Amino acid sequence: MHHPGPPRFVSTGETVQLAPRDPEPTGSYEWRIADAPPTSDSTVGSEPVTEFTPDVPGQYRIGLAAPDGDHLLTVLAFPAAYEGVDVAGGSGEAIRDRDVDRAGIDYGAGRLAGEGGPPRIRLDAEIEGTEAVVRAVATPNPDSSLAADDLAVRFVIDDRDVAAAVADGRTNPRDALTVTENPTGATIRLPTGSVPDRLRVHAVAVARDPGEDARVSVADAVSIDRVDAGGPDSFGDPTAGEAFETTRPNQPPAWTADATVYEVYVRTFADAEEGETLAAIEGRLPELAESGVDTLWLTPVLENDGKPHGYNITDFFAIADDLGDRDDYERLVETAHDNGMRVLFDLVLNHTARDHEWFRDAYRNPDSPYRDRYEWQDSGEPGTYFDWELIANLNHANLTVRRYLLDVVDEWAPLVDGFRCDMAWAVPDSFWREIRDRAKAADPDFLLLDETIPYVPRFHEGMFDVHFDATLYFQLRQIGRGAAPAESVIDAVEKRAAVGFPDHAGFLQYVENHDETRYRVECGDAAAAAAAAATFTLPGVPMVYAGQEIGQRGRRDPIAWDHAREEVRERYARLSAAHDAHSALGPAGDLERVDYRVAGGGSGERPIAADGDEVHPDDVVAFRREHGSEALVVVLNFAPGEALVAVDADHGRLNVVTGDPCVVSDAEGEERIRVDDVAIVSTEP
């Protein structure tokens, strides 16, 4: 089906890319404005992949005449509250279209658009008798002065499902629904008889501060699917026997709630001869599984230009010869599954290597049939980012490119459990939405993990499940260097909601990866231990970069397995076990601040942690995690010396990480938690 996908919620002046799905490169596609606000002068382009920019607020309907028929797409445009400000409040376009000098991206970026920031929304659906009911809970931004009942909710039923219902002879769901507002959001109801095989409902929350333009949330969605069509009973009830299933498409897969990701830089992970690397990695999987790893991210395994990182790909359908062959890769994945581990494929869709056959033919050849498959600069060089001279950016407005890359997705998705999406910010939003729907249709538990730095809240709107949290990464580095207090880790986590991420968004928490200096090299062993503990105890998905768990100091050097620091390995094993055993430490657990005091800390200038054993109050942070009937207090200490910390909460005496007592009394009889790097104690929920 060539329909361009779900409805879009945008600001006036924001450009939306429109593209037919599952395209036929030689097919005919024509766009039109089918409906628009009376004062709008917006137009749409004539190319199969085109752009649309709403000029006034209101509802637009964009038409697409395609080989499989005519389609309509709803676009809701709101006043441009985010015009000209940081991308934290908008889409990824501002990242992709930044200045031609291709300046690097600030890890700590993600500023708010003015005061207050966007609200959040969550949708849930259920069947009540003969009605389908969708409830929206709208939540003000944490920094907003607005209350929940100050927010408005805008619902849109998916155009694809409206067309399906009408084609089935059902009442148009938009005509059948009723909307009721309530203090926390709004509810829609519609008869189950108007529900086609699938009904997707999308919605946003809208905040309007006095004198300000509207601030719009990341959209959420629910899906109501028929599992039994039913039919008239003996009394003539046409809805008798109907059965439905409701799902939340933007909810991360349930298995990510207790996942631990382990990144393998494939060419230095195992000592192996040419062509035997994948087999050597496979041989280490049982050991990894025993350590608590349950999700394996392998850096690219496809044919490339010979650079060891593998991101400059020359053949998107072939395993790199120096690693092994297709059978080796499939055996590795099968062995991982046999050991209870999932596998993430590193998906590269922004570019090819310059050694790719397309580019070799197209370079400096304007008549090449491959020429328009790439972006080009006025200089005649290909489009690229930063100083990456060995790659060339693909032209995602070319239907042949999109068709090719969708075939790449279809080739590898059935073998693995998810994609780690390289340079996700550099690929158009419309394409990620299509890839997500394509992968999830085959496997609803398939994971989409985006590498987008800084993170973009709108990327949780029908694109990705879990997001790289470079903001937390950056803050942990600042703490380890002595440039920020330990308590700022909580600020970093709270920033997720402040910039507009919904509460159900997932985050990958890490302190190092193949692109970064090892944390312990920059910040010292003590800070590295506490930073690792932060990734396992704050709300998110912890990630370990191979070698991190044994004290490795080289970023991409061969892993020194024979020289592993056993005390470091044991520390990681304990952290992983504690994370898995306590749901309060998982992504769903609430995070709360607690009052705490550090004994013996000086009040003067804070020493760099690696310079001595003195513990400064800024080296320590305590917080509370709670989920269901479980509540825990976590204390992290980034200093080399032992910290004694009094927490204003009744708590247990055992450190659940080690199983040992960790509470002592000071000279005044006050109980203090003794902390080397991390202590976790139980408390009352």
Q: Give the chain's radius of gyration (CA, Å).
A: 26
User: Do 337 and 466 fall within a single domain?
Assistant: yes
Does 568 reside within a domain? yes
Supply the pLDDT for residue 90. Answer: 35
User: Do 422 and 284 fall within a single domain?
Assistant: yes
pLDDT tens column, 488-529: 999 999 999 999 999 999 999 999 999 999 999 999 999 999
Cβ-count burial 493-531 (b if 16+ within 10 Å, e if not) = bebbbbbbbbebbbbbbbbbbbebebbbebbbbbbbbbb
Contact by Cβ (8 Å): 635, 647: yes
Does 376 reside within a domain? no
Catalytic residue chosen out of the listed positions 328, 451, 512, 549:
451
pLDDT tens column, 592-603: 999 999 985 444
User: Do 237 and 325 fall within a single domain?
Assistant: no
- The domain total for the chain is 4
Does 382 reside within a domain? no
606 or 640, higher pLDDT: 640
User: Do 346 and 455 fall within a single domain?
Assistant: yes
Q: Containing domain of residue 51, as a range?
A: 1-85
Q: Residue 613 catalytic?
A: no
Separation CA 616–CA 251 (nearest Å): 40
Supply the pLDDT for residue 228. Answer: 77
Q: Which one of 585, 602, 628 terminates a domain?
A: 585
User: Do 232 and 267 fall within a single domain?
Assistant: no
Locate the DSSP E strands across 230-384. 243-247, 261-264, 295-298, 302-304, 313-319, 342-347, 351-353
Half-sphere exposure of 72 (CA within 13 A, CB side): 16
User: Is the model's pLDDT at 553 over the cut of 90?
Assistant: yes
Q: Which one of 249, 276, 305 terminates a domain?
A: 249
Closest CA to 614 of 624, 603, 625: 603
Catalytic residue chosen out of the listed positions 422, 461, 549, 677:
422
User: Do 177 and 47 fall within a single domain?
Assistant: no
Task: Report the CATH number that the domain containing residue 163 is assigned in CATH.
Answer: 2.60.40
User: Do 480 and 529 fall within a single domain?
Assistant: yes
Does 107 reside within a domain? no
User: Do 431 and 333 fall within a single domain?
Assistant: yes
Mean pLDDT of all residues belonging to the chain:
91
Task: Report the CATH number that the domain containing residue 8 is assigned in CATH.
Answer: 2.60.40.10
User: Do 132 and 267 fall within a single domain?
Assistant: no
Task: Report the CATH number that the domain containing residue 480 is assigned in CATH.
Answer: 3.20.20.80
pLDDT tens column, 150-160: 999 999 999 99
Separation CA 320–CA 304 (nearest Å): 7
Q: Which one of 537, 561, 585 terminates a domain?
A: 585
pLDDT tens column, 459-495: 999 999 999 999 999 999 999 999 999 999 999 999 9
User: Do 561 and 517 fall within a single domain?
Assistant: yes
Does 391 reside within a domain? no
User: Do 599 and 574 fall within a single domain?
Assistant: no
Q: Residue 41 catalytic?
A: no
Does 485 reside within a domain? yes
User: Is the model's pLDDT at 405 over the cut of 70?
Assistant: yes
Separation CA 491–CA 507 (nearest Å): 15
User: Do 526 and 620 fall within a single domain?
Assistant: no
User: Is the model's pLDDT at 82 over the cut of 50?
Assistant: no
Q: What is the mean pLDDT of residues 657-679?
A: 92
Supply the pLDDT for residue 646. Answer: 94
Locate tokens 């570019």: which residue? 351
- Helix, strand and coil content of the chain, in percent to the nearest 5, comes to 25, 30, 45
Does 367 reside within a domain? no
Closest CA to 265 of 309, 222, 305: 309
With H, G, I as helix, E, B as strand and everything else as coil, classify residue 364: coil
Does 283 reside within a domain? yes
